[in-house]
Chains A and B, each alone.
Chain A
Amino acid sequence: MLIIDAKNVDFYYSDFHALKNINIEVEKNKVIALIGPSGCGKSTFLRLLNRMNDLIDGTRMTGSILVEGENIYAPNVRVDELRKKVGMVFQKPNPFPKTIFENVAYGLRVNGNTDNTFIEERVIESIKSAALWDEVKDKLNKSAFALSGGQQQRLCIARALAISPKVVLMDEPASALDPISTAKIEELIYELKKDYTIVIVTHNMQQASRVSDKTGYFYLGELVEFDDTTKIFTNPKEYSTQNYITGRFG
């Protein structure tokens, strides 16, 4: 079953044509990596999937993106409901200035959960799924800023998982982290695949080849090639893709 189906997506920042006729189909419980040089539009595309680009003035989008069969750009769609379904982890860890517990509970609270036992269970469960439990179980009431960068990023993942999204978007989640933290995040992605569909933007091609099932290569706002990861990295169809993955530019 297709969980994300983007058709003929064009996107403009004022008069800059940032995405050109993008078509991507994503199946359930797969990891999709989006790669490409800086400014190629991969992050822009990712942010279209939970309508984060709505926050930027002067943007315009044509085409349609279906999530679980519903067009998320239809006029009667409630954006906050959509974002519960499509969670997001950002490039830099951005915990709230609250305690570790409250960071994860935030999404539940804003969605109207008032049952404290349920919130507590869900928070613990999410922190466990983000492979952070052993490190924070004794300091749930400490500030989130007391954690290291890698721990903060996993906290942000736990936060995104707490509201049980269908899709998790990750915008270069490991780019600000050291190699050990990066490895932990990658392991985590592998684990999360069982329950979630993940779309990850990355600059790191080894990372894309390690974690993803399918890879899309963006260049100058176009989706040059979208195929199984093994195929992209061993036998790409396009010359440009081959140049990029072998490190000849970008």
Chain B
Amino acid sequence: MKRFLEKFVEGALLISGSVTSITILLIIIFLFKEATGLFNSPVVEEGYVLAMNKSNPVKKLNSYQIKHIFDADITNWDEVGGKEEPIEVVRLSDLTNYYTEEELGADFENIPAKASELTASRPGIILFLPEQYIAKNFDGTLLSKETMQPGDFFGGTEWYPTASPSPQYGLLPLLLGTLWVSLGAILLSLPFGIAVSVYLAEIASMRIRNILKPLVELLAGIPSVVYGFFGLVVIVPFLQETFKLPVGETALAGSIVLGIMALPTIITVAEDAMRTVPRAIKEASLALGATHWQTIYRVIIPYSKSGITSAAVLGIGRAIGETMAVLMVTGNAAVIPHTLLEPVRTIPATIAAELGEAPVGSGHYEALFALGCILFLITLVISISIEFIGRKKY
């Protein structure tokens, strides 16, 4: 009977273990499956086509080029590999500049014919039309239907998912925004965190430590939205005043808020590491005539180096994954930042802010999943590096 019970418990443990692992695996598979859909989504908005004059040698345009043609940043076909010929951008609504409303018909029934005529007559045209207005005998070339390329995502410098006709899903501004904010956070919180942990582990008396340690741990329990609120009300106006900025919602504001949020992790982990330094080693140092300070920086800190590194890495992990607080204070401008005093947008903030308005299955929706994958890979690399750093090598 007893043996049967033990077998049963063992079985239950096995099942719960495997269920957990499978669930995690399924989530990851789901994430990556959705994300790869991005590379099957069309460069041009679904249901629309781009048409050009037959004499135009350009047959392919990538997402970035299309966006800049329509933003009038690219104005000549020779910039995208064609002949020397100014680009003439025509949208559906622009047709009225070329034809009267009567010519287009009361119910726009003449649009297909007129679009074809216009395309044939103008060598530099690029016409952006819904598919339904393309006549069977359309006199022009239709741009071949391309899908998003990995380069458009990984190398893209713009995040502009609602751009028309070609949405931009460039990873770089968001990735750099995330890294800048996290780097700033860790630069602020690491020296401070280590200082506090040295104080708590080595200098503070038992009484002070018993008050301070729970206080620090309390910091970890405050919801992130509260930190965001604090940042918005205190730090953002403060930065705006101090640096005379047009807006205070900057990467630096995000770094400060995240730095405060990462402090408890860093302090707790680093302090624990310092407290595990064997008493014998401290005594050995003191017995050789080292002062308390010499012992701290020559023995205790080197000895707990791996613990301190884990603390830093865990802090970075916390900072990279944090969503709400950064969303509230960084200004959310998806541009590549050049200084810490510019608004940035991070990956988690983007996912949180945009997932609600992205139609399920659209390129935008899948691009957000791809961002999720990137975030997952970053944190994965971080946890693996903790494993490696955590191993002592003496």
Contacts and interface: CB of A to CB of B under 8 A. Distances in A.
Which one of B289, B294, B298 has the greatest number of beta carbons of chain A within 10 Å? B289
Interface in B287-301: 287-291, 294, 298-299
Contact of B288 (A55, A98, A106): A106
Contact of A96 (B281, B286, B291, B294): B281
Contact of A55 (B281, B286, B289): B286
B287 A110 contact: no
Contact of A106 (B206, B278, B298): B298
Interface of B: 206, 278, 280-281, 283-291, 294, 298-299, 302-303, 394
A94 B289 contact: no
Given A97-B281, A107-B289, 5 more contacts: A55-B283, A80-B290, A87-B287, A110-B294, A111-B289
Contact of A52 (B286, B289, B291, B299): B286
Contacts of A156: 284
A84 interface: yes
Contacts of A81: 289
A87 B287 CA distance: 6
B339 to A, nearest CB: 41
Q: How large is the interface on A (under 10, 10 to 19, 20 to 34, 35 or more residues)?
A: 20 to 34
Contacts of A159: 284, 288
A110 B294 CA distance: 7
Interface in A54-87: 55, 57, 80-81, 83-84, 87
Interface string A104-124: 001101110000000000000
A136 to B, nearest CB: 16
B394 A145 contact: yes
Contacts of A96: 281, 284-285, 299, 303
Contacts of B302: 97-98
Interface string A88-108: 101010111110000000110
29 contacts: A55-B286, A80-B286, A80-B290, A81-B289, A83-B287, A83-B288, A87-B287, A88-B287, A90-B287, A92-B280, A94-B283, A94-B284, A96-B281, A96-B299, A96-B303, A97-B281, A97-B303, A97-B394, A106-B288, A106-B290, A107-B288, A107-B289, A110-B285, A110-B291, A111-B289, A143-B394, A159-B284, A160-B287, A163-B288
A107 B298 CA distance: 11
A188 B90 CA distance: 97
A96 B298 CA distance: 10
A79 to B, nearest CB: 8
A229 interface: no
Nearest to B392: A97
A84 B294 CA distance: 14
Nearest to B281: A94
Contact of A83 (B289, B298, B303): B289
User: Which 10 residue pairs of A and B lie closest in terms of their CB atoms, listed nearest first?
Assistant: A107-B288, A84-B289, A94-B280, A110-B290, A88-B287, A83-B289, A110-B294, A94-B284, A80-B289, A97-B394
Interface string A152-174: 00001001100100000000000
Nearest to B298: A110
B261 to A, nearest CB: 33
A90 B286 CA distance: 12
Given A52-B286, A96-B299, A143-B394, A80 B281 contact: no
A90 B289 contact: no
Nearest to B305: A97
Contacts of B294: 110
Which one of B278, B288, B290 has the greatest number of beta carbons of chain A within 10 Å? B288
A52 B283 CA distance: 8
A110 B394 contact: no
A212 interface: no
Contact of B286 (A57, A83, A160, A163): A83
Contacts of A83: 286-289
Contacts of A97: 281, 302-303, 394
B394 A57 contact: no
A43 interface: no
A57 B280 CA distance: 16
A67 to B, nearest CB: 14
Contacts of A50: 287
B285 to A, nearest CB: 7
Contacts of A143: 394
Contacts of A111: 289
A160 B284 CA distance: 9
Contact of B206 (A57, A90, A110, A145): A57
Contacts of B283: 52, 55, 88, 90, 94
A26 B300 CA distance: 35
Nearest to B290: A110
A124 B275 CA distance: 33
A244 B98 CA distance: 118
Contacts of A90: 280, 283-284, 287
A159 B298 CA distance: 15
A163 B291 CA distance: 15
Given A55-B283, A94-B281, A106-B298, A160 B288 contact: yes
Nearest to B287: A88
Nearest to B280: A94
A55 B287 CA distance: 11
B58 to A, nearest CB: 66
Contacts of B280: 90, 92, 94
Contacts of A95: 284
A108 B206 CA distance: 32
Contacts of A55: 283, 286
